[in-house]
Structure 1
Amino acid sequence: MATYLGGLAAIALSLAVLMALAWVVQQRTGNSGWVDTIWTLAVGVVGAASALWPVAGEGPHARQWLVAGLVALWSVRLGTHIAIRTAGITDDARYATFAAEWGLSAPRRMFIFLQNQALGSVPLVFAIFVAAHVPAPGLRVQDVLGAAILLIGIAGEAIADAQLRRFRHDPANHGKVCEVGLWRWSRHPNYFFEWLCWLAFPVIGLAAGYPWGWASLLAPVFMYWILVHVTGIPPLEAQMLRSRGERYRAYQARTSMFFPLPPKQEQTKGVVA
């Protein structure tokens, strides 16, 4: 038990330090987009390290390497995507809105916000830790299934990101709502597949006689809450309503918010706002 509680404390401290670094970068560059880049890489680094952390004096085994590799792949793919996007903007509109609302207290409020983000990330990384340390010899069928779910999530998110990027880079689509590919079935397919990635850890971590495995359920629960109710969909949709108005409301009415589902009615792609 002490090993797991010690791991939890180390995870929390590491994330707090790295998100403090994200605050420094944000303050010096004025571009809040780097916050998400650093968060993704921080979760990846701390998650992979926690997966490989020895328990009971034993070196890393196959499951630990598998989980660490999956987390590293997720982090590099998403972190690179966000970094490229951030390099092409002056600031992230969501964080810029927060800063405008906070006024002169924006630097202090941003630091607190990012520390809360670090705290909210602890269950995610701890889920990685407990999944990697299931006390079962060798790789099981559920380890392979969990890996497959995470790889599908990474691939789906990459496809959604690529579809949106191609849509935005086409001058003919200026001022239009993206309704191509996966975006016709969900208003936020990239967020859905991101959530799917975290569903892999309870698949790997739940095992008979392993009570710590229940902690792996925190990953998909917390990620869903963050994406759907906190820093994901709410500020992004508010921004889209400001820039697209009634046309985006029409898109909301016919398209599932999160889970990919058939649209409620046939529509013309790329409705002009």
Structure 2
Amino acid sequence: TQGGAAEFRGISMVAFSAILCFAIQLTAWVPASLLQTERFYDLTGGLTYIILAITTLMLGSKEEDPSTRELLVTALVIIWAIRLSSFLFLRIHHAGKDGRFDDLKTSPVRFLVPWSLQGLWVFVTMNVVIVINSQSGPSPSLTAWDAIGVILWVAGFCVEVVADRQKSAFNANPSNEGKWIDEGLWSISRHPNYLGEIMLWSGIALLGVPCFSGLEGVAWVSPVFVYILLTKVSGVPILDRRAMEKWGEDPSYLLYRENTPEIMPRLISQK
């Protein structure tokens, strides 16, 4: 080891993790491209998180048993990945397809783009976990930061699960066909599932505070990346554009859009 971080055959754990992320996506892209299917896209993403979490835990614990923090953060990632990827897989299985891929899966080269982006997504969001799990030597003792991080993760996980279930139940009701959801958590945030995602990854980042030193502080890019990607790039902008195409001329929707925060609910009601 060098610089307090474990290595794999002379390669830094960060570099090895990046290679692993993209190798898994490339391996899955080949059959998906041949079959022109996106059905296993989200499942592959979740599997990549799990493989990366377990691999870095094992490689970083060659010289000593994994610490409580390492076991905890690995477990949190696995729980989240299993829940979200299975939810997304079942959703696309029932729907039959994911409209985001309609114009991409017919071209192997274009179809490679979302798979590559998924590799980047996993790698960047997992940076905190990679740093925590690749620590060599005794792990720092648990601190108040860890407690706050776990609480934030649990809260975020619950928000994401509840938001997903509320929307699934809403969409499953035939009387809601063609309508937007504005009840439950969706009445106080237009994208509460993304709020939960941002919260739980921020919680994981807090678990890494005692482990960061020097350049390892770059791992803080993880929750920042999640926030920027979801709110500025691939999440909110795309969904809001689709929503405006559907209901942009409906005064009720425009009122909902105006009165409901994009992500963070208002602490004080304006009503």
Band of TM-score, shorter chain: 0.7 to 0.9
Q: Does 1:82 align with 2:88?
A: yes
**Which stretch shifts more, 249-258 or 223-232?**
249-258
Question: Paired residue for 1:14?
Answer: 20
| 1:152 shift after superposition | 1.5
Alignment match of 1:163 (pick from 163, 166, 171)? 166
- Find the residue that maps to 2:40 and give its secondary structure: helix
How far apart, in 2, do the equivalents of 1:3 and 1:265 lie?
52
Question: Paired residue for 2:156?
Answer: 153
Question: Paired residue for 1:257?
Answer: 262
After superposition, the Cα gap between the structure-2 partners of 1:262 and 1:205, relative to the gap in structure 1 and judged at 3 Å, is closer
How far apart, in 1, do the equivalents of 2:33 and 2:268 lie?
42
Maintained 8 Å contact 1:48/1:67: no
Maintained 8 Å contact 1:206/1:216: no
**Which stretch shifts more, 238-247 or 66-75?**
238-247
After superposition, the Cα gap between the structure-2 partners of 1:201 and 1:52, relative to the gap in structure 1 and judged at 3 Å, is farther
* Number of matched pairs: 261
How far apart, in 2, do the equivalents of 1:30 and 1:261 lie?
43
Maintained 8 Å contact 1:195/1:224: yes
1:1-273 superposed matches below 5 A = 1=3, 3=6, 6-54=12-60, 57-96=63-102, 98-99=103-104, 106-132=107-133, 136-207=139-210, 210-247=213-250, 248-261=253-266
How far apart, in 2, do the equivalents of 1:193 and 1:170 lie?
24
How far apart, in 1, do the equivalents of 2:44 and 2:212 lie?
36
| 1:133 shift after superposition | 5.2
- 1 or 2, which has the higher helix percentage? 1
How far apart, in 1, do the equivalents of 2:77 and 2:212 lie?
25
How far apart, in 1, do the equivalents of 2:125 and 2:117 lie?
13
AA partner of residue 265 (structure 2):
P
- Superposed CA RMSD in Å reads 2.6
AA partner of residue 124 (structure 1):
T
Maintained 8 Å contact 2:140/2:210: no
| 1:31 shift after superposition | 3.7
- Percent identical: 26
How far apart, in 1, do the equivalents of 2:27 and 2:248 lie?
37
Maintained 8 Å contact 1:11/1:125: no
TM-score of the pair, normalised by structure 1: 0.84
After superposition, the Cα gap between the structure-2 partners of 1:149 and 1:6, relative to the gap in structure 1 and judged at 3 Å, is same
Maintained 8 Å contact 1:202/1:214: no
Q: Deviations over 1:146-192 (max 9, x none)?
A: 12211211111000001001111111111111001110111110011
How far apart, in 1, do the equivalents of 2:215 and 2:61 lie?
13
Question: Paired residue for 1:270?
Answer: none
Q: Deviations over 1:5-34 (max 9, x none)?
A: 611111111110121234235324544253
After superposition, the Cα gap between the structure-2 partners of 1:204 and 1:49, relative to the gap in structure 1 and judged at 3 Å, is same
**Which stretch shifts more, 205-214 or 63-72?**
205-214
| 1:208 shift after superposition | 7.8
AA partner of residue 63 (structure 1):
R
AA partner of residue 69 (structure 1):
A
| 1:262 shift after superposition | 6.6
Maintained 8 Å contact 1:205/1:214: no
After superposition, the Cα gap between the structure-2 partners of 1:188 and 1:172, relative to the gap in structure 1 and judged at 3 Å, is same
Show structure 2 runs of 5+ residues with no match. none
After superposition, the Cα gap between the structure-2 partners of 1:99 and 1:133, relative to the gap in structure 1 and judged at 3 Å, is closer
| 1:265 shift after superposition | 6.6
TM-score of the pair, normalised by structure 2: 0.85
